[in-house]
């Protein structure tokens, strides 16, 4: 059975394949340091190797995979030190975005925030870490959209792409998901209240709390 039915050719087959490969990385089916096998992916996706090759180039451009001369393309690995540095930068950008989001928030956006928060609550109850992770990304993306700053949004996305392989692991813990969504609720309330300094501080604290949860998970895994 292939994953061809999950692809959306109307968005461009290579782009759809890149999204499918991202899901394999997010779920841990493709692990850090693992080599991407074009033939196996083509068989799994039900397509030729050409679109697979183009999708892999797209992923390389986003920093999720790394090409090694004469060896192939591998799922990106980053060190703990790199991870910590990226979290610091993410916190700064997310705080900036939350502060700016106040100026563009509409009733439609409020409804979208509430839908995402409710969806993440349900994912917590079902212990569905994969769905929670996807909704979590959408929540953060909405805050960045509202910042109305494309450069900040792109920089944030670049950092998020680099961190996926570390971050995805700690969303498997139900307690982590619940704590994370409580922080989301506090951030949304700060943005909705129009308190820019509180929104900035709450957003930064949320990202840094995520870093702390991740470090705790890594410490437990290495214990």
Query: Are 71 and 93 members of one domain?
Result: no
Q: What is the pLDDT of residue 54?
A: 95
Lowest mean pLDDT among 9-18, 47-56, 146-155: 9-18
Query: Are 67 and 101 members of one domain?
Result: no
Query: Are 141 and 52 members of one domain?
Result: no
Is residue 141 pLDDT above 70, yes or no? yes
Taking all residues of the chain, what is their mean pLDDT, rounded to a whole number?
A: 88
Domain range holding 33?
Answer: 4-75
Helix boundaries (H) for the chain: 13-26, 38-45, 49-62, 80-101, 107-125, 129-147, 150-170, 174-193, 196-222
Query: Are 169 and 61 members of one domain?
Result: no
**Burial class of residue 26 in the structure, from the number of CB atoms within 10 Å of its CB (0-12 exposed, 13-18 middle, 19+ buried):** buried
Higher per-residue pLDDT: 12 or 190: 190
pLDDT band at 213 (very low <50, low <70, confident <90, very high): confident
Query: Are 158 and 69 members of one domain?
Result: no
Q: Which two tokens stand for residue 189?
A: 């309330």
Query: Are 33 and 122 members of one domain?
Result: no
Give the DSSP H/E element, type plus range, for residue 67.
Answer: strand 65-68
| Closest of 139, 132, 111 to residue 203, by C-alpha | 139
Domain boundary among the residues 75, 91, 117 is at: 75
Query: Are 188 and 110 members of one domain?
Result: yes
Query: Are 106 and 209 members of one domain?
Result: yes
pTM above 0.85, yes or no: no
Query: Are 109 and 174 members of one domain?
Result: yes
Is residue 38 pLDDT above 60, yes or no? yes
Radius of gyration of the chain (CA): 18
Domain boundary among the residues 58, 75, 92 is at: 75
pLDDT band at 165 (very low <50, low <70, confident <90, very high): low
Domain boundary among the residues 48, 75, 102 is at: 75
Convert the pLDDT of each residue in 51-109 to its tens digit: 999 999 999 987 788 899 889 999 988 888 888 999 999 999 999 999 999 999 999 99
Query: Are 68 and 84 members of one domain?
Result: no
Query: Are 64 and 91 members of one domain?
Result: no
Cα separation, 190 vs 202, whole angstroms:
8
């Amino acid at each position: 059975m292939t994953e061809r039915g999950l692809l959306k050719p109307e968005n461009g087959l290579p782009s759809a394949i890149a999204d499918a490969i991202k899901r394999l990385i997010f779920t841990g089916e493709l692990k850090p340091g693992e080599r991407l096998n074009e033939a196996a992916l083509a068989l799994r996706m039900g397509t030729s190797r050409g679109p697979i090759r183009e999708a892999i180039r797209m992923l390389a451009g986003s920093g999720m995979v790394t090409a090694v001369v004469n060896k192939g393309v591998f799922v990106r690995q980053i060190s703990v030190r790199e991870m910590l540095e990226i979290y610091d930068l993410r916190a700064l950008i997310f705080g900036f975005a939350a502060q700016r989001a106040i100026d563009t928030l509409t009733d439609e956006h409020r409804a979208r925030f509430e839908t995402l928060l409710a969806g993440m609550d349900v994912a917590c109850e079902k212990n569905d870490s994969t769905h929670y992770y996807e909704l979590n990304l959408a929540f953060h993306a909405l805050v960045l959209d509202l910042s109305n700053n494309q450069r900040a949004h792109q920089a944030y996305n670049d950092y998020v792409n680099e961190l996926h392989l570390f971050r995805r692991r700690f969303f498997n813990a139900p307690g982590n998901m619940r704590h994370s969504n409580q922080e989301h609720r506090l951030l949304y309330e700060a943005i909705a209240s129009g308190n820019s300094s509180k929104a900035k501080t709450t957003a930064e604290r949320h990202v840094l709390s995520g870093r702390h949860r991740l470090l705790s998970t890594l410490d437990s895994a290495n214990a």
